Structure 1
Amino acid sequence: MTATLAYDVAAAAERLRPHVRHTPLLRAEVDGKPVVLKLEHLQRTGSFKLRGALNALLTGERPDRVVTASGGNHGIGVAAAAAILGLPATVYVPTSVPEGKARRIEGAGARLVRVGDRYADAAAAAHEAAAKPGVRYVEAYNDPAVVAGQGTAAAEIVRDAPEVDSIAVAVGGGGLAAGVALGGGGRLTVAVEPEHCAGLHAALAAGKPVDAEVNSVASSALGATRVGEVPFEVLSTHPVRSLLVPDDEILAARDRLWEEFRLAVEPAAAVSFAAWLRGTVPGERPCVILCGANTDWLP
């Protein structure tokens, strides 16, 4: 599977080129240290999720209708991808979904359905709705086509900043981190999670995906109860460093991005920058991915 996925990152880039933004890099210096920031929060839909969702829908047979479950960003990405292709979409979300993300899902053209107070409730309802002919369920991260699509962000980093030797990325279900591992051209993937929302860290310790605690200021975006099987296969066979950061440092990093650069991101997008600020991201020329900006936030 891994070799096929690696090949698919290049194919995904060609499929996505007409539809997604090649997001910019910001070369900066903070506290006397150089860092490269990948501004993926400037992607259409406000996060990287459009890449994977659209690549999945462009792969295989065209469906009549699209269904997914989401805590927010994935749903926005699927809604936008379906709209690009002229397909109707329904997104199931838990009642705890942030209102800013719910508004953006509907604004992208999808029907929004609130079910239960946990992501698992929304996912169960979405899978039931998708068990009909002509309906495509778009996975948030546990799909090779989704992972390959997310990997195009890393391929852009390699193209634009070949000097980068490590890429730091926030982890929820693991799709973006796995994409970075595949699209990063052998560079170290630095997988960063909140201390109490660390499914990948638990999986690497156990040698397989396991259920983990979900309790963080970033859990609306990184709140998968366990890392996906597909991302885990990639991340357990590529160079990966797993790091954890506390919630107070995540919020401080988010605020620092605003104060220093006027970059407004959601807490999940500041997780990797928090690890860089505390000095735990390895590499002489690291790149930090800012992955999303879909909560309503004022500094």
Structure 2
Amino acid sequence: MVLRREVVSAGDSDASSRWVTNGAGSLIAMMTPQDVVLARHRIAPWVRVTPMIRWDDHPSHPLLKLEALQVTGSFKARGAFNRVLAAKETGAIGDAGVIGASGGNAGLALAYAAHRLGIPAEIVVPVTSSPVKLERLRTLGATVVVHGERYGDAYDHALERQRRSGALFVHAYDQLEVVAGQGTVGLEFLEQAGSLDMVVVAAGGGGLVAGVRLAMPSQTRVIAVEPTLAPTIQQALLAGGPVDVEVSGVAADSLGARRCGDLAYEVISSMGVESVLVEEEEMIAARQLLWDEFRLVGEYGGVAALAALLADKVKASEEDRIGIIFCGANSDPSDLVKHDAIA
């Protein structure tokens, strides 16, 4: 399978043998499930093997992969570690360290990976970023630069700073090593479950769902779940390629990518990933149920896959083994606790 990818800096560390130029002048990369296997071995000492539980009280008895218990509270650590470790293998990280743009889970993951590996990190965030997450970034030793109203503004500013500093740019979701790293949760899920007929995955920019698709056997259905107020992947599929989408809603801090990643789109569109949308109230209800049933705190985007199951938007037979990835827990639990106390 050939996947297209935009070069974001001359300092990109990907092995040159992986990249060629086609007749139109676009850079293309060969990406296969083996990239996910390689990532699994590379990041194993640095990330957690997260648990899986079976929800027997639900009629379909789904298997829940608790990836929200990953370091930094989301799956993002897998991709960040794989990107940075791959660059270290080729000597592509200098004194300037690494740089990324994100006021959310991707920024936390990159800051944590850099902290553990003893590398300087700079994270550019929009002014709308949560003060709690900004404080966590600083606690991890990252230099925090606040710029712009939206993620896109912070992203452009990070690229500009990267060109001046020579730091390694780590994309939140649209780099080969990042996608492969995120896919390792799929390999882990398969080992724990034995087999899965369907895997339901929350989707923002698409790095997680693309990685999981690469990790799964071809016969396993993979379903991407997005909020109706942030339908980035669904709009890309309708348009025949990534397009800018207006995003908002309760899950915008974690599933608020305005554009589907190029790599993710190629995987999703060529390998039959299905698209499902969930409403605001469905994610709110799923988050509350996760607390009521399991005493687990989730963020709205992190429970989107569970919301699709609970809202009966995932169609499966009674015999199907359904896997649900609960992928993010960086949320204020106070409203859950208050609700529980009243109940």
The answer for the alignment partner of 2:93 in structure 1 is: 63
Which of 107, 125, 141 matches 1:93? 125
The answer for the alignment partner of 1:170 in structure 2 is: 202
Q: How far apart, in 1, do the equivalents of 2:167 and 2:307 lie?
A: 40
Q: Are 2:329 and 1:293 equivalent residues in the alignment? A: yes
Q: How far apart, in 1, do the equivalents of 2:270 and 2:179 lie?
A: 15
* Partner AA of 2:268 in structure 1: L
Q: Give CA-to-partner distance per residue, 1:137-172, whole Å, 9 cap, x none.
A: 101111011000000000001111023211111111
DSSP-derived class of the 1:132 partner: helix
Q: Are 2:136 and 1:104 equivalent residues in the alignment? A: yes
Q: How far apart, in 1, do the equivalents of 2:209 and 2:103 lie?
A: 18
Matched-pair contact (CA < 8 Å) for 1:141–1:174: yes
Q: Structure 1 pair 5/77, CA: closer, same or farther in 2 (3 Å)? A: farther
Q: Are 2:151 and 1:115 equivalent residues in the alignment? A: no
User: Structure 1 residues 272-281 or 251-260, which shifts more?
Assistant: 272-281
Matched-pair contact (CA < 8 Å) for 1:98–1:295: no
User: Structure 1 residues 54-63 or 257-266, which shifts more?
Assistant: 54-63
User: How far 1:71 sits from its partner (Å)?
Assistant: 3.2
Q: How far apart, in 1, do the equivalents of 2:246 and 2:165 lie?
A: 36
Give the aligned length: 299
Which of 56, 59, 67 matches 1:40? 67
User: How far 1:48 sits from its partner (Å)?
Assistant: 0.5
Q: Give CA-to-partner distance per residue, 1:245-291, whole Å, 9 cap, x none.
A: 10011011000000011010111011110000012223421111111
User: Structure 1 residues 100-109 or 173-182, which shifts more?
Assistant: 100-109
* Partner AA of 2:113 in structure 1: A
Report % sequence identity. Answer: 43
Q: Are 2:266 and 1:233 equivalent residues in the alignment? A: yes
User: How far 1:24 sits from its partner (Å)?
Assistant: 0.6
User: How far 1:133 sits from its partner (Å)?
Assistant: 5.4
Matched-pair contact (CA < 8 Å) for 1:100–1:296: no
Q: Structure 1 pair 40/133, CA: closer, same or farther in 2 (3 Å)? A: same
User: Structure 1 residues 209-218 or 24-33, which shifts more?
Assistant: 24-33
Which of 35, 49, 65 matches 1:8? 35
* Partner AA of 1:128 in structure 2: E
Q: Structure 1 pair 6/31, CA: closer, same or farther in 2 (3 Å)? A: closer
Unpaired stretches in structure 2, ≥5 consecutive residues: 4-29, 337-343
The answer for the alignment partner of 2:161 in structure 1 is: 129
The answer for the alignment partner of 2:19 in structure 1 is: none
User: How far 1:58 sits from its partner (Å)?
Assistant: 1.3
Matched-pair contact (CA < 8 Å) for 1:166–1:282: no
**TM-score, normalising length from structure 1?**
0.96
The answer for the alignment partner of 1:201 in structure 2 is: 234
Matched-pair contact (CA < 8 Å) for 1:100–1:295: no
Q: How far apart, in 1, do the equivalents of 2:146 and 2:257 lie?
A: 18
Q: Structure 1 pair 291/108, CA: closer, same or farther in 2 (3 Å)? A: same
Q: Tell me how large the CA RMSD over aligned residues is.
A: 1.3
Q: Are 2:78 and 1:51 equivalent residues in the alignment? A: yes
Q: Are 2:52 and 1:25 equivalent residues in the alignment? A: yes
DSSP-derived class of the 2:331 partner: coil
Q: Give CA-to-partner distance per residue, 1:160-185, whole Å, 9 cap, x none.
A: 10232111111110000100100122
Matched-pair contact (CA < 8 Å) for 1:269–1:291: yes
The answer for the alignment partner of 1:210 in structure 2 is: 243
Q: Structure 1 pair 166/150, CA: closer, same or farther in 2 (3 Å)? A: same
* Partner AA of 2:66 in structure 1: L
Question: Which structure has the bigger radius of gyration?
Answer: 2
Q: How far apart, in 2, do the equivalents of 1:223 and 1:269 lie?
A: 12
**TM-score, normalising length from structure 2?**
0.84
Q: How far apart, in 2, do the equivalents of 1:135 and 1:85 lie?
A: 15
Q: Are 2:304 and 1:277 equivalent residues in the alignment? A: no
Q: Are 2:110 and 1:78 equivalent residues in the alignment? A: yes
Matched-pair contact (CA < 8 Å) for 1:71–1:221: no
